[in-house]
Amino acid sequence: MSAPGSDDPEKVPAAVAQEARQLREQIVYHDRLYFEQDSPEIPDADYDRLFARLVTLEEQYPGLITPDSPTRRVSGAPISEFRQVRHTIPMLSLDKVFNAEDLTQFDARIKKRLGSDAELEYSCEPKVDGVAVSLLYRDGELIQAATRGDGETGEDITHNVRTIRSIPLLIRTDNLPSMFEVRGEIFLSRSGFLRVNEAADRRGEKRFVNPRNAAAGTLRQLDSRIAAGRPLQMYCYSIGVVENFRFPDTLSEVLRLLADWGLPVSPECRVVTGIAECHDYCRQLLEKRPALDYEIDGAVIKVNQLGLQESLGANARTPRWAMAYKFPAEEMSTRVLDVEFQVGRTGAITPVARLDPVFVGGVTVSNATLHNMDEIERLGLRIGDRVIVRRAGDVIPQVVKVIPSDEANNEYGEVRTIVMPTQCPVCGSVVEKDGDVVYRCSAGIICPAQRKEAIRHFASRAALDIEGLGDKLIEQLVDRGELKTVADIFSLSVEQLADLDRMATKSATNVVAAIEHSKHTTLARFLYSLGIREVGEATAQGLANFFGTLDRVIEADLEQLQEVPDVGKVVAGHIRVFFDNEDNLALIGQLRDGGVYWEDVDVATDSRPLDGQTFVLTGTLESLSRSEAKARLEGLGAKVAGSVSRNTDCVVAGPGAGSKLARAEELQIKIMDEEEFLGFLDDLS
Ligand code: IVH
């Protein structure tokens, strides 16, 4: 006899039926949080697992399938406050695969269905992580915007969508359909998301967990002034109902036409032939992912010929001609095993969560910063809690949410409250509260942790750039009492260094040579290397540009300091406190005696290499921030403008550069990529 249920798919074992029921309840519960309250409790990856399990059970036991199973419909019932909009053509969802092999099978399935071995043309697009919407244009005018809702009925969000600057309210062009619907994804960029959360912090409001929730939360506001203040964007990816018009025969041509009409279409869309080229596209897009200023959770591969799409048709909730290739999740759940406290350069004590290692955003993460005690309180976090960890782009891993314990079936056992220690975990000195949220070790440079951090900072790339003097060496030298201040670096000998772990005469000689080489620096680097509170690279460069000599910076009063771009009262105060301290002045004296030097600039009379030139920065630069690049250019005498015109001398374009780059090409203006730009700066500095 065979096992019950294995030979008769209609007969469902009680345990399986029970599991399916529970899965459906959980999925419905999480759908409501995700779609209706914009406040999910579990990461998408966990949700996908629940959903996939239900699909597997239903495939194994078709008797389990109910007409209202979440696998049969698109999630997200409309909320009540908005007018409901019925989609004439349902807005479908997408099937997804997580590996290359399953994507190849998708291609094989389609070919089989079409009864042809010929390679297919695919439209490849980024799967932008936002909110699916439908826009309706009549006689060129945007008359309605709606969310997808449950796929059949969505909500009218016209008032909010009208505030999105990249969506034309009126399309002025000949030969337009009398009516047409365009569909796409509305999203918030990563930088826009940070700004929205900073604004929420300032107002003491709840932060959004991720850009998608922030976009969804914005679109469901009744007051459109809220959306108007948030930088929402949209990429269009298909059309819906159309009246009196013949669109081109392929999706890629349709998208090009939409772009010609002024509708936003992702610049990452490509047409390829055959599934091998789809794999290449997915690989390249995944590589590009960290450089994009918006979140994508995968690629979407679509049969390009609209005629073939029609013959392939759709299942209950997904078309057969499209597939989402999902990238590694940027949010995962894991457990907080412990919380430790790290002491930084200025003595600030930061709680760090030690996590049960988890693969997220393409790497294994075992630590996440918790910033400060306020953050812990805001999260309601305790040791032992299950949490959502997020690692998106190059941003350091964050704990974004605690998963309520009953949600995870009380699996974790004991939990402990997190308490700030009263003594420094490194040197045992008293911990003092500084302002509302910051706690500091009171020992200053005597605390080995602060000493190590200060030396590490001094030697770092953006400061004196001492190659080879890394964390391991600094750690040992401080522990042996051979480095007490940064000035001691300049009397280190080859013998001393050769005596350290994993060092030999050759490597020690190299480090001593690097120390010697670092002595010739710039005023900006030197100011940055001192580790004055809140004086980052850009501020240090600003100070150097403005004053030209160290003596003039040291002598500047609070008012003069505030004349420097981006220096406000607080930063000016930190600078004054630093230079009013005799020990710091003595240290500067020792460094100069030790041979550290730079060329002073008489800002009033000296000419600078880029005087009179105008630069424009666009796209993302990897090795320096926008403000640092700007400060360095300004230090060389250049002006940095926000838009490209005939007066622009040079455009520096990183990945993701858009219209400014196009304009520069059109005007035949000199364009530099990041590598050329860095070389150019080095030659001039
Ligand atoms: S096509 C009939 N294309 O992914 C196919 N969807 O999981 C309908 N999405 O609801 C969708 N980027 O919110 C399509 N380039 C893209 C997309 C995309 C993001 C979202 C959209 C959709 C969901 C399906």
Active site residue 433: no
pLDDT tens, 244-300?
A: 999 999 999 999 999 999 999 999 999 999 999 999 999 999 999 988 989 999 999
User: Nearest C-alpha to atom 6 of ligand 1 is from which residue?
Assistant: 127
Q: Is residue 84 part of a domain?
A: no
pLDDT per position as a tens digit, 158-202: 999 998 988 999 998 888 999 999 999 999 999 899 999 988 888
Question: Longest C-alpha distance within the chain, in Å?
Answer: 98
Q: How far apart are CA 433 and CA 445, in angstroms?
A: 18
Residue among 188, 237, 318 to mutate when testing ligand 1 (max atoms within 8 A of CB): 237
Asked if residue 663 and residue 573 are part of one domain, the reply reads no
Mean pLDDT confidence for 115-141: 96
* In a shared domain, residues 507 and 457: yes
What is the CATH classification number for the domain harbouring 41? 1.10.287.610
What pLDDT is stored for residue 412 in this prediction?
Answer: 54
User: Which of 298, 326, 354 is the C-terminal boundary of a domain?
Assistant: 326
C-beta of residue 618 within 8 angstroms of C-beta of residue 629: no
Residues 317, 359 share a domain: no
Given 294, 326, 358, the domain boundary residue is 326
- Is residue 217 pLDDT above 70, yes or no? yes
Q: What is the mean pLDDT of the chain?
A: 90
518 CA from centroid of ligand 1 (Å): 53
Please state, in angstroms and rounded to a whole number, the distance separating the CA atoms of residues 322 and 247.
20
The answer to whether position 602 is within a domain reads no
- Alpha-carbon distance values, 37 to 78, 192, 316, 621 (Å): 11, 21, 25, 36
Q: What is the mean pLDDT of residues 647-660?
A: 88
Q: Could you tell me if the CB of 312 is within 6 A of ligand 1?
A: no
Ligand 1: atom nearest CA of 148 is 10
Residue 340 is assigned to a structural domain of this protein: yes
* Residue where one domain finishes, among candidates 275, 291, 326: 326
With a cut of 70, say whether residue 80 has pLDDT above it. no
Rounded CA-CA distance 210/179 in Å is 35
Please indicate, yes or no, if residue 603 is contained in any of the structural domains. no
| CA 80 from centroid of its chain's CA atoms | 33
**Which residues does 677 contact at the CB level (< 8 Å), separation at least 6?**
621, 629, 652
Residues 581 and 619 in one domain: no
Torsional class of 347: left (φ above 0), alpha (ψ -120 to 50), beta (otherwise): left
The number of folded domains in the chain is 6
Cα dihedral sign for 469, 473, 475, 478? negative
**Is residue 347 within 8 Å of residue 442, measured between CB atoms?**
yes
Is 50 exceeded by the pLDDT of residue 2? no
User: Is residue 132 within 6 Å of ligand 1 at its C-beta?
Assistant: yes
Work out whether strand 650-653 and strand 614-618 pair parallel, antiparallel, or are unpaired: parallel
Output the domain CATH number for residue 432.
2.40.50.140
Q: Which range, of 4-8, 73-77, 615-619, averages the lowest pLDDT? A: 4-8
| DSSP conformation letters of 303-350 | ESBHHHHHHH-B-SSSBTTEEEEEPPPSEEEEEEEEEEEEE-TTSBEE
Q: Do 455 and 436 have their domain in common?
A: no
Active-site residue identified among 127, 326, 630, 660: 127
What is the pLDDT at residue 248?
A: 97
The answer to whether the CB of 652 falls within 8 A of the CB of 621 is yes
211 & 314 share domain: yes
Got the DSSP string for 521-567?
--HHHHHHHTT-TT--HHHHHHHHHHH-SHHHHHH--HHHHTTSTT-
Quickly state the pLDDT bin for 75 (edges 50, 70, 90): low
Q: Is residue 609 part of a domain?
A: no
Q: Are residues 313 and 332 in the same domain?
A: no
pLDDT at 606 over 70: yes
pLDDT on residue 74? 54
**Helical H segments across 611-650, by residue range:** 626-635
Residue 512 or residue 435, greater confidence: 512
By three-state DSSP, how is residue 142 classified? strand
Q: Rounded distance, CA 124 to CA 322, Å?
A: 10
pLDDT at 150 over 70: yes
Does residue 4 surpass a pLDDT of 60?
Answer: no
CB-ligand 1 contact for 324 (6 Å cutoff)? yes
pLDDT, tens digit, for every residue of 549-589?
A: 999 999 999 999 999 988 999 999 999 999 999 989 999 99
**Assigned domain for 206 exists:** yes
Both 554 and 660 in one domain: the answer is no
CATH of the domain at 640: 3.40.50.10190
3-12, 67-76, 225-234, 343-352, range with the lowest pLDDT = 3-12
**Residue 607 counted as domain residue:** no
Token pair belonging to 401: 């949410």
Query: How much is the pLDDT for 622?
Result: 80
pLDDT at 79: 54
pLDDT at 9 over 80: no
| 269 vs 196: CA distance, rounded Å | 28
Q: How much of the chain, in percent, has pLDDT values that exceed 70? A: 95
pTM of the model: 0.66
pLDDT reading at 8 higher than 70:
no
Which residue pairs from 224-231 have beta carbons closer than 8 angstroms and sit at least 24 positions apart in sequence?
224/159, 224/160, 224/162, 224/163, 227/159, 227/160, 227/161, 227/163, 227/164, 228/163, 229/199, 230/188, 230/192, 230/196, 231/188, 231/189, 231/192, 231/195
SS3 (DSSP) at 293: coil
Q: Is residue 152 part of a domain?
A: yes
Sheet holding 322-326, edge to edge: 96-97, 322-326, 296-303, 121-128, 270-273
232: CATH: 3.30.470.30
Q: Does residue 164's CB lie within 6 angstroms of at least one atom of ligand 1?
A: no
* ∠ Cα 615 620 622 (to 5°): 105
604-628 average pLDDT score: 85
Domain that holds residue 152: 96-326
Are residues 399 and 542 part of one domain? Answer: no
Question: How many residues does the structure list for the chain?
Answer: 685
**Do 308 and 339 lie in a common domain?**
no
Phi then psi for 334, rounded to 5 degrees?
-160, -175
Does the beta carbon of 321 lie inside 6 Å of ligand 1? no
Q: What is the pLDDT of residue 417?
A: 95
Q: Is 480 found in the same domain as 465? A: yes
Angle at the Cα of 388 from the Cα atoms of 383 and 393, rounded to 5 degrees = 125
- 134 pLDDT band, cuts 50/70/90, is very high
Tokens of 532: 């004055």
Same domain, 410 and 486: no
Own/partner contacts of 256-261, CB < 8 Å, gap of 24 or more, are: 258/182, 260/173, 261/168, 261/171, 261/173, 261/176
Q: What is the CATH number of the domain that holds 567?
A: 1.10.150.20
